[in-house]
Structure 1
Amino acid sequence: MARFQEDYKTLEQALNGTYMVDQLKSLASQISKNNPTRKAELAAHIASTVFKDIDTILAYLDPMAMNALAEAVYNWSGCFKSKPFFAKYSALPQTESKGGRGSMHLMYLFFINGKIPPDLMAILEKKIKRPAPEKIDYEDLDDDPEMTVRETAHAACMNLNALLTMVKENQIRVSPKTGRATAATVKKISAHLCEGDFYDAEDLDPIQAFAWPLLLQGGGLAAIDGNFLKLTRAGTLALKKDLAKGIQTIWKKWEKTKIIDEFSQVTVIKGQRSAKGRTMTSPVRRRPVINGVLTCLEPGRWVSVDEVERFMRSESQTFEMTNYDWKLYFGDPHYGLLDYNDTWSLLQLRYLLIYLFQYGATLGLVDVSYKYPDNARPDFQSCWGADDEPFLSLCDGLMQIRLNDLGAYVLGLSTDYNAVDPRDFEIHDTDILYTGKGIPTPDHSLYLDKIADQTEAGRWQVSLVSLLNALKAGETLKDINAFITQITQEKPGKNLEKLFEKAEERSSAVVDRGKATLLECHGDIRKQILTDKEMGRLCLPAGDRHLVILPEKEALFARYLETLGIIIG
């Protein structure tokens, strides 16, 4: 079924304008007898017969051909799209005729240059059932012992807190030009990751530790300041208030960032930066497509990446990876050109794997089941120049994903993430006890770690020391009290109230009122100043030879001093 080239309004026009006499005779012989011989009369006769005996003619078609008609009529505006059709049905309709010269398969009566004429479309809409909607086939988790399963949401929130804290402490050194972290910084990040990176093998580069500094920048939570990252206002807010909201902010902004093309890490494929950087399409055009597919997933159910990729092609939710396929190659630009091969699995599938694994799973949107990347997807090894490569991408080992609660929240499929039931926390004397299912959210556990000491899993003890340490770190007793009341729906008991009173007393007994100026004075002048009606109110004695000017009184003190004919040296 060739590409449609003419905008024919009727079946008769399309038949007469497209086919030769022998082809029309072949089609006519399959649906009627005693057919005319002249071309125009044949076209008119075939069209008339089709509209008259449409039910009989449709009965001649096999089920696969009927599926093709149904998809074209209801989903593809009358056109036939072979790639989405094959992705959905795993086969193509038969279009080859067994006859001799000029013989035409009956499918060409409907698809003329790849498209159904409008008047025939109107009839088929009344005669053909709408095709079954495409659906995603979910599956059980693969129990292969080589597979590693990671639930990512909790670790991602903990890692975001750790990375933002490192940024706040000026520990994330990056290249001012690329924004990528230095090798030493990547190693430092790896050591701070909750549950570690996805692979701990020394021969494999880090996945999460490489991605996090880029995600913070692309997501607007950090910005380059010289050779280091600094927190933005959004980053400060995420660190203090809501980590899940911070991840949602990153993901939304990442869709439009140009800080990196995720596919650039597939270094085995050469030529990506030829044509002055225009060989590859912008990832800004690819990411929304994948994000749209993720919203089609049912949270909490495992699905293979291959099935996600099949669903994408079936629903025509696809994207282009290159502007010039022929500039990409393995090994040698003269022999290893990619356009000698079907590039979908080499480009689009690999980009999907990297996007889901290195960035989606790092941010905790999808749980993952994966194995060591070596020979996990050997589909590329038949390409010239690639037969000795163990993998195209570190993410080749990703096999299954599961959209989790955090992913559903980030993608807008739910309105909150891990909302805490007030019954999940209780106050026992000066202890706060978690009684809910699973583990507390990172935001709650991290804040409890700030204000109390964890004595065992799910139990935090509030003490005078823990409260004073929290106050020293910038928290307030009002906020701490409000937090405890919010998560427990209880008023603090007498013992806890006493701790708050002691903390208030200890934290207000000595108060920093700002910097003061220390002056050294000669004995007689010092006495004169202290006894002066105006200047005596602006300073205090300090030892035998010094005066301290009260904060913000320096200029007034200097003016009064000058009236005595004295200046500050």
Structure 2
Amino acid sequence: MTLKEALRSLTVIELKQRCSQIPDLRTGNVKDSLVNGLAGYLLSDSLATLVAGLSELERNAVAETIHNWNGSFSAVAFKAKYEALPSFFTHDPYNWLSHRSKDSQPSALKLLFFSQTIPTDLAARLAPLVPQPPPMRIATLDDEQLPETVTIKRFSGDEPEPLRRADTEILVHQELPAVLRLIAEGSIGVGAKTGLPSAAAIRRLESVLLGGDWYDADDDEDAPRWAGGPIRPIRPFAWPLLLQTGGLAKIDGSKLGLTAKGKKALSQPVHEVVKQLYERWQRKGSPDELRRVDLIKGQTSKGVRLTAPMDRRLVIEDALRANCPVGEWLAVDDLFRQMKAEGYRFDVSGNPWKLYLSDANYGSLGYDGAVNFEILEARYTLAYLFEYLATLGMIDIAYSRPYRARPDYYDHWGADDLNFLSRYDGLRYLRLNALGAYCLDLTEHYVAQLAERSPLFRIDADLNLDLLRPAEPAEQLQLEQIAKSLSADRWGLNRDVIFSRSADADERERIRAFLETSVEGDLPPEASNLLARIDERATALTDAGPARLIQCRDAALAAMLSTDPATAAHCSRAGERQLCVPQKKLNAFRKGLAKLDFVLPELAP
């Protein structure tokens, strides 16, 4: 659209209003004369004088529109970057009197923008007059700068609340193997069709997570579901879904069981397994994270047309790559500002009118949800970050309880009695860690940022374990698998259990690794001898597979068949009159018998 085309779309009254803003501009009263006069002024050298009279905020609006937004102004992106809007873009379109007020001075932007768009030929003239705006700068924090409290705005006044912090990269190295072992034991019950963990499974999972869930039972104010409902579980809910989606676990009746891939994962480096789980969740993760935002209703209604979660997740991934420096804390609100300013946006629903708070008519998100980042996009992003990426150990987090943590929904109809909009509203800061950088392909190799742990126990000559510190949940689970508790801080290695578990070579190596990495100093001779004896005994026998035991008429026939070239390669003596024939060689043995004019009868059912 050219400038003259834009001007011709206006009425004569609107053209005269614009002409009145230009001193000494002489035009007639005919529309063509008004259009030519305005176009002549705006496309001349006089444009520089008009631009010089703009405020800094107004010049930034012009610069962003021309250089970054293809000529169309974005109020959401501009406000996110500059935290303010020129008054020209804040008029209420439904307030007719605001446009008639004699006290309001019309903005010079009215001469440049037409339906929030700058015509192409005018944009070309403006480009050299307003330089390319600098990129958005967001301050990040180090550990010392991270605040200890956050302010919660309540009706009774502002209240400080402690800011909790979780370095998740450390957690996942302990928790992923522990959760896999729980599933291997058949301890995790799930819905036979949904795969969602049962209440008992949630409790069992929480018991092996370092520090438990993000929130404990005392954090929950037991709000009724219409006001928000429970704020937990989060992590124990996510783990079974992540592992099923990643192909490491599958539903076996009413329990989860490890797949062959899951058993292999127990011996793989944790960072490789986490990356596989993340990539799989990006593409196939189910259910949709939005379903966990319980207060947004209508998600299963006819015609809501929710978008593919994969498309949303990929946008968030791009935003994390571009805006989260590795190892630095970033406020979640600043991440949201960057997503809005830099265009990391996604649709949640093709028909937000079907989504609502409290009431399907008055509370419909169609009134503002389609353009209101905070209600849909932000809540989806919070759920994705807090429940899944933090559980996978990719982002360290700092958070408070969700109650009244984000006031951005207060003005929406039906929100008066809500304690929060989602259980994830308490997420305040995130830090992309080394594991997250590896999973996002920001680095080719992973270098673990893990603090050394002190030894867990010492082993005496009687193969008893004396604990040197309290066992972490994952360590406790491993102790329970190979030892018997003798007292609060003393365990005895269970030889019988260790021998039985050592039939699996990978499990044998895991037992050895646990003992070697947890003991104070080197393994004592008694423990080394036990492990050596287990290795020797576990490899002394080999299962060669199924075979048939053939009974011969007499010893002479057995001797002949075990030495004749036609059959000797397919059988071996198993007694005076018996031959052993491997199942895989049975057909070849039958053919050899036929050459010798013998027949082996079929096995009777």
Indicate the TM-score class for this superposition, using the shorter chain for normalisation: 0.7 to 0.9
Partner of 1:48: 40
Which of 351, 359, 377 is the matching residue for 2:406?
377
On the 8 A contact 2:6/2:119 being kept in 1, the answer is: yes
- More deviation, 66-75/115-124: 115-124
- Whole-angstrom distance in 2 between the partners of 1:566 and 1:340: 81
Unaligned segments of structure 2, at least 5 residues: 92-98, 150-160, 223-229, 454-458, 460-473, 483-494, 514-524, 564-571
3-state secondary structure, aligned to 2:266: helix
Partner of 1:118: 120
3-state secondary structure, aligned to 2:87: coil
Which of 20, 29, 35 is the matching residue for 2:26?
35
Partner of 1:351: 380
Partner of 1:257: 284
Deviations, residues 270-311 of structure 1 (Å, cap 9, x unaligned) = 2221116x3533323321111111112101111121111121
On the 8 A contact 2:267/2:506 being kept in 1, the answer is: no
- Whole-angstrom distance in 1 between the partners of 2:536 and 2:261: 34
1:185 and 2:201 equivalent? yes
Question: How far is 1:199 from its partner?
Answer: 1.6
Decide whether aligned partners of structure 1 residues 101 and 206 sit closer, same or farther in structure 2, where only a CA change above 3 A counts: closer
Partner of 2:464: none
- Whole-angstrom distance in 1 between the partners of 2:586 and 2:244: 44
Decide whether aligned partners of structure 1 residues 173 and 80 sit closer, same or farther in structure 2, where only a CA change above 3 A counts: same
3-state secondary structure, aligned to 2:505: coil
Which of 31, 41, 51 is the matching residue for 1:58?
51
Which of 394, 408, 416 is the matching residue for 1:365?
394
Unaligned segments of structure 1, at least 5 residues: 1-6, 425-429, 431-442, 452-463, 483-493
1:408 and 2:437 equivalent? yes
Partner of 1:245: 272
Partner of 1:4: none
- Whole-angstrom distance in 2 between the partners of 1:564 and 1:360: 65
Partner of 1:142: 147
TM-score by length of 1: 0.76
Partner of 2:456: none
Which of 418, 423, 427 is the matching residue for 1:389?
418
Superposition pairs for residues 156-175 of structure 1, below 5 Å?
156-175=172-191
Superposition pairs for residues 496-515 of structure 1, below 5 Å?
506-514=537-545
- Whole-angstrom distance in 1 between the partners of 2:134 and 2:533: 69
Decide whether aligned partners of structure 1 residues 357 and 385 sit closer, same or farther in structure 2, where only a CA change above 3 A counts: same
Deviations, residues 34-71 of structure 1 (Å, cap 9, x unaligned) = 50213322322322223222221111111111001000
TM-score by length of 2: 0.72
On the 8 A contact 1:23/1:103 being kept in 2, the answer is: no
* Percent identity between the two aligned chains: 34
- More deviation, 338-347/140-149: 338-347
Superposition pairs for residues 209-248 of structure 1, below 5 Å?
209-224=236-251, 226-232=253-259, 234-248=261-275
Partner of 2:503: 472
Question: How far is 1:149 from its partner?
Answer: 0.7
- More deviation, 111-120/213-222: 213-222
On the 8 A contact 1:381/1:388 being kept in 2, the answer is: no
- Whole-angstrom distance in 1 between the partners of 2:578 and 2:601: 15
Deviations, residues 390-448 of structure 1 (Å, cap 9, x unaligned) = 33322122111111111111111111222699xx9xxxxx9xxxxxxxxxxxx9xx99x
On the 8 A contact 1:530/1:539 being kept in 2, the answer is: no
1:289 and 2:321 equivalent? no
Decide whether aligned partners of structure 1 residues 98 and 66 sit closer, same or farther in structure 2, where only a CA change above 3 A counts: farther
3-state secondary structure, aligned to 1:390: coil
Question: How far is 1:513 from its partner?
Answer: 4.3
- Whole-angstrom distance in 2 between the partners of 1:135 and 1:33: 42
Partner of 2:156: none
- Whole-angstrom distance in 1 between the partners of 2:534 and 2:449: 28
Decide whether aligned partners of structure 1 residues 56 and 532 sit closer, same or farther in structure 2, where only a CA change above 3 A counts: closer
Partner of 1:94: 87
On the 8 A contact 2:351/2:366 being kept in 1, the answer is: no
Question: How far is 1:102 from its partner?
Answer: 12
3-state secondary structure, aligned to 1:270: coil
- Whole-angstrom distance in 2 between the partners of 1:121 and 1:349: 33
Partner of 1:486: none
Partner of 2:569: none
On the 8 A contact 2:393/2:436 being kept in 1, the answer is: yes
3-state secondary structure, aligned to 1:240: coil
- Whole-angstrom distance in 2 between the partners of 1:387 and 1:252: 39
Decide whether aligned partners of structure 1 residues 395 and 567 sit closer, same or farther in structure 2, where only a CA change above 3 A counts: closer
- Whole-angstrom distance in 1 between the partners of 2:600 and 2:24: 128
On the 8 A contact 1:88/1:134 being kept in 2, the answer is: yes
- More deviation, 294-303/318-327: 318-327
Question: How far is 1:249 from its partner?
Answer: 1.8
Decide whether aligned partners of structure 1 residues 356 and 34 sit closer, same or farther in structure 2, where only a CA change above 3 A counts: closer
3-state secondary structure, aligned to 2:404: coil
How big is the alpha-carbon RMSD for the aligned residues of Structure 1 and Structure 2?
A: 4.9
- Whole-angstrom distance in 2 between the partners of 1:99 and 1:566: 108
On the 8 A contact 2:267/2:510 being kept in 1, the answer is: no
Decide whether aligned partners of structure 1 residues 533 and 325 sit closer, same or farther in structure 2, where only a CA change above 3 A counts: closer
On the 8 A contact 2:180/2:266 being kept in 1, the answer is: yes
- Whole-angstrom distance in 2 between the partners of 1:554 and 1:316: 68
Partner of 1:19: 10
Partner of 1:320: 347
On the 8 A contact 2:593/2:600 being kept in 1, the answer is: no
Question: How far is 1:268 from its partner?
Answer: 2.5
- More deviation, 294-303/339-348: 339-348
Decide whether aligned partners of structure 1 residues 264 and 503 sit closer, same or farther in structure 2, where only a CA change above 3 A counts: closer
- Whole-angstrom distance in 2 between the partners of 1:566 and 1:259: 55
- Whole-angstrom distance in 2 between the partners of 1:189 and 1:210: 9
- Whole-angstrom distance in 2 between the partners of 1:149 and 1:258: 26
- Whole-angstrom distance in 2 between the partners of 1:321 and 1:477: 48
Decide whether aligned partners of structure 1 residues 215 and 512 sit closer, same or farther in structure 2, where only a CA change above 3 A counts: closer
Question: How far is 1:233 from its partner?
Answer: 5.7
3-state secondary structure, aligned to 1:400: strand
Question: How far is 1:191 from its partner?
Answer: 2.2
Decide whether aligned partners of structure 1 residues 111 and 371 sit closer, same or farther in structure 2, where only a CA change above 3 A counts: same
Partner of 2:69: 76
On the 8 A contact 2:196/2:237 being kept in 1, the answer is: yes
Partner of 2:152: none
On the 8 A contact 1:530/1:536 being kept in 2, the answer is: no
- Whole-angstrom distance in 1 between the partners of 2:352 and 2:442: 36
- Whole-angstrom distance in 1 between the partners of 2:539 and 2:36: 99
Partner of 1:299: 326
Decide whether aligned partners of structure 1 residues 418 and 324 sit closer, same or farther in structure 2, where only a CA change above 3 A counts: same
- Whole-angstrom distance in 1 between the partners of 2:176 and 2:444: 21
Deviations, residues 473-512 of structure 1 (Å, cap 9, x unaligned) = 3149999999xxxxxxxxxxx9999999877655554554
Amino acid at match of 1:329: Y
On the 8 A contact 2:305/2:350 being kept in 1, the answer is: yes
Decide whether aligned partners of structure 1 residues 173 and 121 sit closer, same or farther in structure 2, where only a CA change above 3 A counts: same
- Whole-angstrom distance in 2 between the partners of 1:413 and 1:124: 38
Partner of 2:78: 85
